[in-house]
């Protein structure tokens, strides 16, 4: 026998959290602010900074202007709001790693001229 319980309100499909909670929006604001702060440590002409900053600013503007979580999900078009938060957490982690890796710096040694030749 199977019973289904219905609760009033709008709950997410992913983990049943209240979709009207301001927690989601505040968490995204904090994450996007942190990402933008970390990106300031990367040279302005670095491709990673340029394109990540563009995407994060677009998303950050949506988070600041849209108060309805369901509408925000639709505008972001990146899955459930919980997934968007995980994406932002992953981007923050990657941005911090990029500062350590410094992929914008020149290579230590020149790659072999036939590096991309196929077949060998």
The string of pLDDT tens digits covering residues 12-44 is 554 555 555 679 999 999 999 999 999 999 999
Q: Is 93 helix (H, G, I), strand (E, B) or coil?
A: helix
Instruction: Please report the pLDDT score of residue 30 as a whole number.
Output: 98
pLDDT score of 74 more than 60? yes
Provide the whole-model pTM: 0.79
Cβ–Cβ < 8 Å for 100, 93: no
pLDDT score of 119 more than 60? yes
Nearest alpha carbon to residue 40 among 49, 28, 27, 51: 49
Share of the chain above pLDDT 90, in %: 76
pLDDT score of 75 more than 90? yes
Distances in Å between the Cα of 63 and the Cα atoms of 11, 33, 71 are 19, 11, 10
Peptide bond into 55 cis (omega under 30): no
């Amino acid at each position: 026998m199977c019973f289904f319980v219905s609760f009033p309100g709008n709950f997410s499909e992913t983990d049943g959290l209240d979709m009207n909670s301001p927690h989601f929006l505040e968490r995204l604001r904090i994450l996007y602010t942190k990402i933008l702060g970390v990106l300031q440590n990367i040279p302005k002409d670095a491709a990673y900074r340029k394109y990540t900053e563009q995407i994060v600013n677009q998303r950050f503007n949506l988070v600041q202007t849209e108060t309805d979580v369901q509408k925000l999900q639709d505008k972001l078009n990146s899955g459930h709001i919980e997934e968007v938060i995980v994406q932002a957490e992953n981007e923050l982690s990657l941005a911090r790693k990029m500062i350590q890796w410094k992929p914008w710096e020149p290579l230590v040694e020149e790659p072999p001229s036939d590096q991309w030749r196929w077949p060998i």
